[in-house]
Amino acid sequence: MRKVFDDYRALADNVLRPDEPRVDKFVEAMGKSLKKENWTFWLPYVLSLDYCMKCGTCAEVCPVYQASGRREIYHPVKRSEMLRSIYRRYFTLGGKLWPGLVGAKDLTEDGINALAESFYRCTVCRRCAYVCPVAIDNGLVVREGRKILDAIGIAPDELKDSGTQIQLKAGNATNMGTAAFLDIIEFMEEEIADTWGRQVKIPVDKKGAEFLLMHNAGDYLAFPETVMGAAVVLQAAGVDWTLNSPATGINDVVNYGVFFSDGELEKVLRAQLKTALDLGIKTFVVGECGHAFEALKYLMQRLIPAGERPFEVKSILELEAQWIREGRIKVDPGKNREIVTYHDSCKLGRLGGLYEEPRTILQAACQDFRELVPNREMSLCCGGGSGFAIMAKGDFLKFRMETYGQLKAQQLTDAGAQVVALACSNCKGQFREIINYYKLPLRFAGVSELLANALV
Amino acid sequence: MSGMEFKGLTIDVDEDGFIQDPSLWNKEVAEFFGKTEGIEELTEEHWKVINYLRDYYLEFGIAPMIRKLCKETGYDLKKIYQLFPSGPAKGACKLAGLPKPTGCV
């Protein structure tokens, strides 16, 4: 694959089609994105295109810019300017009449190539948006740019062809059938007995249950300790709950549309909604997955009227914290003796506001809980966000490790932690690689897993 | 999609080097994929992992849970990474002729 932006390529040639004419289509798609029918975040998007003082505050907190040794091409303003210069040139009067004066540039095919790759160097962690003095959201600009790219047929196959498309067809993005799902459930029940000495019967496809817990399907295959831990906790809490198999519709809480497409986002959300309605559950519980929480807790509110979704949406963290506070489940922190720290997922924390819940759980369940610095609102993205955790074409894993990953590895080392607790599947995927790449002397664990381990 | 020349045959692989048609897999293909992953020789330990993945895939149409793979082979994740430096999904599954695992794995 030839170089179009930096030394990496997130998008393969058959996706980017770097030598095909796409300028006219791009401008047309961008024109549509600027209309109010672009329902998600039209106003902040247009304001973010119109107003930026270029003060550079964002760059000082941008993980990829800082970790790259302040390389200009990774500067968040530079990135957004790639889209802004097109906006000015084709959609403002000044840009049409006097392009040179207003920083408007003709769009070229090479410009599209560079923009596409650049917009897949940012994890949309939105640390920049948090510090911007005039509330410009570079993360939003990146997402809208990715939507325009998708509209002209440029989207990572991991997220679309092998992501949302498989999920809509098979019920989950891992392409797991019902037989495989049931085999996994049976294995997990045995593993729970072996690990924690508990007999847990995992309910599946129970209609009318109070809680439908939907995990990221990848957790069943790659991070089953989280799924097992949650099952142990729910049984200990004595609540009426269920998991669901692909036979009931969608049994994967992920929604990669969050990363690149409102169309895909809506299709997946509606399919998840239908599954929940068919099952007749009362509360839709989002497993340990950051972007799924964004989709179901926040984006769904903008898309689907309240009357059409007669159930509550909660993160598993909210329930676990609540049950600890209520004394519904009892824990002994002496059962988790290692030094434990917590990494705030961008989507659960900065976006979702779940800062206290994981801390309530971990402080109760672990003997020596320590904070990473910085944390909460200023938490550093691990580098797995916005789809990166499952994108590794060519050298792209190296990009993830040498930029975001490098900062995170340093932060973990400074904290002296033996266990890093995570509540997001993409974080888990990225930390698995960081720990392996930097040979760090620690392990990661799901929050639910640590909680299950501390139950008395 | 691109083709990889191998013993006079062309094996179609995807962008990540995974086999396009899992039914065309055989032991020689595994050895060939191993070389593309920097694994010079496949030992008995490699084969234990590959055979388990293959059998599970043929039964369930998907790669097994990594935890189950570890339990059934008796190898921990560290050992799997030693055997397959790209890891269980991107390394071991490729050699076993499985399609590229999808979703958040």
pLDDT tens-digit series, residues A136-192: 999 999 999 999 999 999 999 999 999 999 999 999 999 999 999 999 999 999 999
* Residues of chain B contacting residue A221, judged by C-beta atoms under 8 Å apart: 62-66, 101, 103, 105
- Most B CBs within 10 A among A221, A255, A345, A427, hence the mutation to make, goes to A221
The answer, yes or no, to whether residue A309 has pLDDT greater than 90, is yes
* Residues of chain A contacting residue B101, judged by C-beta atoms under 8 Å apart: 174, 221
Q: Which amino acid is at B50?
A: I
Give the residue from A211, A212, A230 showing the smallest Cα distance to A220: A230
The answer, yes or no, to whether residue A317 has pLDDT greater than 70, is yes
Distance from C-alpha of A130 to C-alpha of A440, rounded to nearest angstrom: 30
Beta bridge partners of B6: B9
Distance from C-alpha of A84 to C-alpha of A49, rounded to nearest angstrom: 6
Q: Into which CATH architecture does domain A13-151 fall?
A: Orthogonal Bundle (1.10)
Establish if B43 touches chain A: CB-CB under 8 angstroms.
no
Shortest CA distance from B1: residue in chain A: A14
For residue A44, how many other CB atoms are within 10 A of its CB?
A: 16
* The CATH number of domain A329-454, selected from 3.40.1350, 3.40.50, 3.40.470, 3.30.70: 3.40.50
The H helix count followed by the E strand count for chain B is: 6, 2
pLDDT tens-digit series, residues A182-201: 999 999 999 999 999 999 99
Domain boundaries, chain B: 2-95
pLDDT at B14: 87
Cβ A252 vs Cβ A171: under 8 Å: yes
Residue range A406-419: mean pLDDT, rounded: 97
> What distance in Å separates residue A454's CA from the closest CA in chain B?
21
Residues 6+ apart with CB under 8 A from A133: A53, A55, A57
Considering only the beta carbons, identify the residue of B67, B101, B104 that sits closest to A254.
B104
Shortest CA distance from A291: residue in chain B: B104
Bond prior to A156 in cis (omega within 30° of 0): no
Find where tokens 């939003």 sit.
A140
Bond prior to A358 in cis (omega within 30° of 0): no
Please give the class, per CATH, of domain B2-95.
Answer: mainly alpha
The answer, yes or no, to whether residue A23 has pLDDT greater than 60, is yes
pLDDT at A231: 98
3-state secondary structure of A420: strand
Strands (E) across A300-380 are located at 312-315, 339-342, 368-371
pLDDT tens-digit series, residues A206-252: 999 999 999 999 999 999 999 999 999 999 999 999 999 999 999 99
pLDDT at A21: 96
The answer, yes or no, to whether residue A302 has pLDDT greater than 90, is no
Q: How many CA atoms lie within 13 A of A138 on its CB side?
A: 34
Average pLDDT, chain A: 97
**Catalytically annotated residue among B29, B62, B104, B105:** B104
> What distance in Å separates residue B78's CA from the closest CA in chain A?
9
CA dihedral A283, A288, A290, A293 (to 10 degrees): 0
Considering only the beta carbons, identify the residue of B1, B60, B64 that sits closest to A177.
B60
Distance from C-alpha of A255 to C-alpha of A106, rounded to nearest angstrom: 34
pTM (predicted TM-score): 0.96
Does residue B104 have an active-site annotation? Answer: yes
Q: Do A174 and B103 touch (CB under 8 A)?
A: yes
3-state secondary structure of A21: coil
**What's the token pair of residue A127?**
């640390």
CA dihedral A385, A389, A392, A398 (to 10 degrees): 70
Confidence of residue B1 (pLDDT cuts 50, 70, 90): low
The answer, yes or no, to whether residue B9 has pLDDT greater than 80, is no
Share of chain A above pLDDT 90, in %: 96
Q: Which element (helix H / strand E) includes A422?
A: strand A419-422
Domain boundaries, chain A: 13-151, 160-322, 329-454
pLDDT tens-digit series, residues A46-68: 999 999 999 999 999 999 999 99
pLDDT at A18: 94
Can you name the CATH fold of A160-322? Rossmann fold (3.40.50)
pLDDT at B50: 97
pLDDT tens-digit series, residues B28-82: 999 999 998 999 999 999 999 999 999 999 999 999 999 999 999 999 988 998 9
Considering only the beta carbons, identify the residue of B67, B87, B104 that sits closest to A426.
B104
Give the DSSP per-residue string, A197-228: -------BS-TT-SEEEE--HHHHHH-HHHHH
pLDDT at A100: 86
Establish if B85 touches chain A: CB-CB under 8 angstroms.
no
Residue range A104-127: mean pLDDT, rounded: 96
Share of chain A above pLDDT 70, in %: 100
Cβ A51 vs Cβ A141: under 8 Å: no
Q: Answer whether A13-151 and A160-322 agree in fold.
A: no
pLDDT at B91: 93
Confidence of residue A40 (pLDDT cuts 50, 70, 90): confident
* Residues of chain A contacting residue B98, judged by C-beta atoms under 8 Å apart: none
